[in-house]
Amino acid sequence: MDLVNSMTPLKLTQFFIFFSIFFQIKVESETPKQFLKGFKANPDPQISNFQPLLTDSTGNYSLSFLRMDENQLNLAIIHVKSFETIWVANLTRLAKWADPTELHFNGSLVLSDSRSGVFWSTYTDGDRVWLSNTSNLQVQKVDNGVTSPSVLWQSFDFPSNTLVENQNFTSAMTLVSSNGLYSMRLGFDFFGLYFKGESGLGSGSDTGRIYWRHKALEAKADVMEDQGHIYVVLKSNGFLGMYQNESVPVDIESFNSFQQPVSGVRRIRIEPDGNLKGYFWDGSSWVLDYQAIKETCELPSPCGAYGLCHPGKGCSCLDNSTNYSIGGCSPPNSGEPRDLCGATYDLDHKRYKGLSRNGVELSNTELMDYKHMVSFEECQSACEGNCTCWGAVYTNTSGFCYILNYPIQSLVGVRDESKMGFFKMREGVGKDKRGVGFGVGVGLLCGAILVLGGVIGLGYYRYMKRKRERGVSGYVDDDGVVVGPYKDLGNASFRSIELIER
Ligand SMILES: *[C@@H]1O[C@H](CO)[C@@H](O)[C@H](O)[C@H]1NC(C)=O
Ligand SMILES: *[C@@H]1O[C@H](CO)[C@@H](O)[C@H](O)[C@H]1NC(C)=O
Ligand SMILES: *[C@@H]1O[C@H](CO)[C@@H](O)[C@H](O)[C@H]1NC(C)=O
Ligand SMILES: *[C@@H]1O[C@H](CO)[C@@H](O)[C@H](O)[C@H]1NC(C)=O
Ligand SMILES: *[C@@H]1O[C@H](CO)[C@@H](O)[C@H](O)[C@H]1NC(C)=O
Ligand SMILES: *[C@@H]1O[C@H](CO)[C@@H](O)[C@H](O)[C@H]1NC(C)=O
Ligand SMILES: *[C@@H]1O[C@H](CO)[C@@H](O)[C@H](O)[C@H]1NC(C)=O
Ligand SMILES: *[C@@H]1O[C@H](CO)[C@@H](O)[C@H](O)[C@H]1NC(C)=O
């Protein structure tokens, strides 16, 4: 009694808050449903995957510490039953899964550690943190009794690689694949997928190169210059709608289950292979319902740099003297320069080997500029003479010459021998090392063959497993090994704007 009497009302409130959090954690042994000021949490060293901190009212989602690369930590919203990450905080750098790392709420939700300082913060002055049953994390200001709380910050405004149903995707936002290579953005009247490339990582404002685009058909409404930016919403009816002003979509991109009721919520995600996929929850797993790019070979880099993708078959290398193996066709190009113009690349000894070959094609020519040229030789020499050019692809029936001003990724192998390409193969630092130890090389080769055998076996097993699970007849393995083609899901989907009643 004395203790309580001696407390000021403020202290009493704090005590009560502390007590209620304590009560929720200890007595219900559950994660809390909200954070109030004073909340603190540290990573538990015993936990190997994720540590729930806050759940929504259904228990479907939780805000968690997510363990990454063994000892690193990120803050994530997780779909609990599938362990799928719906959102991650965009940290300046990853935190450590160790004691000095702390999440606290003092009006701002802050991830920090006492040595490195603040990794991430909402920079707000709110009263509580709450997770909606649609996976939207919010910092709210609670005006006592007056209407509903106002939202100061919400994770829906900062998506990472995923959008859920009814989440608005605006031109201020970017979806970025978990490996940082691919992104989705809006343009004036389209949404596009962009390849940032390894050289582009962290290089500021550069959006990268577009490899897929969905332009508004404007069947029901036109995109108007003066009506502000378009935005995209994933709708419960099974489509991505493009809108300019709320009611009427300027376009829809429909899913397989378009206009069919499905059992659970939907989401789309930009995948580590650069595809955009849509899923719905069937109560026990996520069912694939949409993919922007249906053919494996049309992905931006299914076979890696200098790879050649053969539809329905798999990968080889542009340079036919190189065997396509787990490592792909070129060593990982960390620090690959953007072009061949730098001081070390000109002078007389050009640091690349020219390679010409027939039967190659680009997968996204409709998004690329070309020049008319009378011959392949002319197209090739236009590239040879320009240090920003990494390669050129020529079709002699049309006379189109496509100049590639970016490090070469995968091309598509075709039977048509009149489609020709010229490529600059970088002869990098590795060249001198090639002479070292033939024996070592043979040993590695034998090892690689064994590993390859294992990978093929495992790949086939996983392929059959996923085939059974998803009903998709092929996929790009996590290791980047093409096991088979995608089934053309597009045949099952159809675009029918008339069906939308709005
Ligand atoms: C909350 O904590 C952060 C990090 O410790 C600090 O920078 C910020 O000023 C604090 N905010 C308030 C309102 O105390
Ligand atoms: C989610 O919350 C809303 C109210 O915020 C409610 O109407 C809806 O029924 C809830 N959905 C589920 C699945 O609990
Ligand atoms: C994360 O932050 C960086 C730097 O602030 C920014 O360039 C990047 O676009 C952000 N990523 C996302 C997915 O918003
Ligand atoms: C999305 O935008 C629409 C129109 O601007 C708005 O009415 C709606 O509340 C927004 N939804 C969310 C989840 O922010
Ligand atoms: C959310 O929870 C409800 C009730 O437990 C369940 O029926 C539903 O399938 C869950 N949804 C997801 C996306 O997990
Ligand atoms: C490899 O390519 C060269 C040049 O394009 C060609 O002459 C040669 O026949 C090819 N070799 C094989 C085994 O395909
Ligand atoms: C090299 O290519 C770039 C990009 O296509 C072009 O802007 C530039 O004018 C070319 N330079 C020369 C010398 O042709
Ligand atoms: C295209 O190339 C093929 C084989 O290289 C040749 O036979 C054909 O005449 C060429 N066509 C044109 C229009 O130049």
Task: Return the H-helix or E-strand segment holding 254.
Answer: strand 249-254
Cβ neighbors of 19 (< 8 A, separation 6 or more) are none
CB-based pocket (< 6 A), ligand 7: 386, 388-389, 403, 405
The amino acid present at 327, given as its one-letter code, is G
Q: Tokens 């090392």 label which residue?
A: 433
Task: Return the H-helix or E-strand segment holding 315.
Answer: strand 314-317
Quick one: which atom of ligand 7 is closest to the CA of 382?
A: 14
Q: Which residue's CA is minimally distant from atom 13 of ligand 6?
A: 320
Answer yes or no: is pLDDT of 433 > 50. Answer: no
**Range in 6-20, 121-135, 140-154, 355-369 with the lowest mean pLDDT:** 6-20
Q: Is the CB of 388 under 6 A from ligand 2?
A: no
pLDDT the model gives residue 85? 96
The amino acid present at 221, given as its one-letter code, is A
344 close to 352: Cβ distance less than 8 angstroms: no
Question: Taking Cα atoms as reference points, which of 272, 180, 178, 175 lies closest to residue 477?
Answer: 272
In sequence order, what DSSP letters do the residues of 39-52 get, joined into one string?
Answer: -EE---TT-SSEEE
Quick one: which atom of ligand 5 is closest to the CA of 81?
A: 14
Integer Cα distance of 76 and 120 in angstroms: 12
CA trace torsion 437, 439, 440, 443 (10° rounding): 160
Q: What distance in angstroms lies between residue 128's CA and the mean position of ligand 1's atoms?
A: 15
**Which one has a higher pLDDT value, 25 or 313?**
313
Q: Is the CB of 58 under 6 A from ligand 2?
A: yes
224 close to 244: Cβ distance less than 8 angstroms: yes
At 454, is the pLDDT very low, low, confident or very high (cuts 50, 70, 90)? very low
Mean pLDDT on 439-454: 40
CB-based pocket (< 6 A), ligand 3: 90, 158, 160, 174, 176
Q: Which residue's CA is minimally distant from atom 5 of ligand 5?
A: 58
Q: Is the CB of 356 under 6 A from ligand 8?
A: no
Integer Cα distance of 272 and 270 in angstroms: 7
pLDDT the model gives residue 436? 31
Spell out a b/e string for 41-73, using b for 16 or more CB atoms within 10 Å of the CB, else e. Answer: bbbeeeeeebbbbbbbeeebbbbbbbbbeeeeb
Answer yes or no: is pLDDT of 230 > 80. Answer: yes
At 341, is the pLDDT very low, low, confident or very high (cuts 50, 70, 90)? confident
pLDDT the model gives residue 248? 81
Question: Taking Cα atoms as reference points, which of 199, 187, 269 lies closest to residue 229?
Answer: 187
pLDDT the model gives residue 10? 43
Reported as a single tens digit per residue, the pLDDT across 107-127 is 999 999 999 899 999 999 999
Cβ neighbors of 1 (< 8 A, separation 6 or more) are none
Integer Cα distance of 223 and 240 in angstroms: 16
Of how many residues is the chain composed?
502
Quick one: which atom of ligand 2 is closest to the CA of 60?
A: 13
Q: Which residue's CA is minimally distant from atom 14 of ligand 2?
A: 58
Q: Which ligand is nearest to the CA of 316?
A: 6
Q: Which residue's CA is minimally distant from atom 1 of ligand 2?
A: 133
Q: What distance in angstroms lies between residue 116's CA and the mean position of ligand 1's atoms?
A: 15
Integer Cα distance of 404 and 361 in angstroms: 12
162 close to 184: Cβ distance less than 8 angstroms: no
Mean pLDDT on 158-179: 95
Spell out a b/e string for 420-433, using b for 16 or more CB atoms within 10 Å of the CB, else e. Answer: bbbbbbbebeeeee
Answer yes or no: is pLDDT of 42 > 70. Answer: yes
Mean pLDDT of all residues belonging to the chain? 78
Q: What distance in angstroms lies between residue 5's CA and the mean position of ligand 7's atoms?
A: 80
Quick one: which atom of ligand 2 is closest to the CA of 57?
A: 14
**Which one has a higher pLDDT value, 276 or 340?**
276
Within 10 angstroms of residue 267's Cβ, the number of other Cβ atoms is 22
pLDDT the model gives residue 382? 93
Q: From residue 327, how far is each of 243, 334, 351, 445, 448 by CA, in Å?
A: 43, 14, 22, 12, 10
Long-range own/partner contacts, residues 337-344 (CB < 8 A, 24 or more apart)? 337/199, 338/199, 338/200, 338/406, 338/407, 339/387, 339/388, 339/390, 339/405, 340/387, 340/388, 340/390, 340/424, 340/426, 341/387, 341/388
Quick one: which atom of ligand 3 is closest to the CA of 173?
A: 14
Reported as a single tens digit per residue, the pLDDT across 351-373 is 678 899 999 999 988 898 899 99
Residue from 388, 389, 401, 406 to probe ligand 7 pocket by mutation (most atoms less than 8 Å from CB): 388
pLDDT the model gives residue 162? 97
Reported as a single tens digit per residue, the pLDDT across 77-93 is 999 999 999 999 999 88
Mean pLDDT on 57-75: 94
**Range in 80-84, 159-163, 297-301, 462-466 with the lowest mean pLDDT:** 462-466
Tokens of 354: 């020219």
Q: Which residue's CA is minimally distant from atom 1 of ligand 3?
A: 90
CB-based pocket (< 6 A), ligand 1: 106-108, 110, 112, 118
Domains of the chain, start order: 19-158 (2.90.10.10), 162-294 (2.90.10.10), 299-431 (3.50.4.10), 450-501 (no CATH)
CB-based pocket (< 6 A), ligand 6: 320, 357
Mean pLDDT on 168-184: 94
Within 10 angstroms of residue 452's Cβ, the number of other Cβ atoms is 15
Mean pLDDT on 435-462: 40
Instruction: Tell how strand 101-105 and strand 109-113 pair up.
Output: antiparallel
Q: Is the CB of 112 under 6 A from ligand 8?
A: no
**Range in 47-56, 102-111, 369-378, 488-497 with the lowest mean pLDDT:** 488-497
Residue from 101, 102, 104, 106 to probe ligand 1 pocket by mutation (most atoms less than 8 Å from CB): 106
**Range in 191-205, 229-243, 471-485 with the lowest mean pLDDT:** 471-485
What percent of the chain has pLDDT above 70?
A: 72
pLDDT the model gives residue 133? 95
CB-based pocket (< 6 A), ligand 4: 156, 166-168, 246
Quick one: which atom of ligand 6 is closest to the CA of 357?
A: 5
404 close to 424: Cβ distance less than 8 angstroms: no
Q: Is the CB of 388 under 6 A from ligand 5?
A: no
Answer yes or no: is pLDDT of 488 > 80. Answer: no
For the whole model, what pTM was predicted? 0.78
At 158, is the pLDDT very low, low, confident or very high (cuts 50, 70, 90)? very high
**Which one has a higher pLDDT value, 423 or 438?**
423
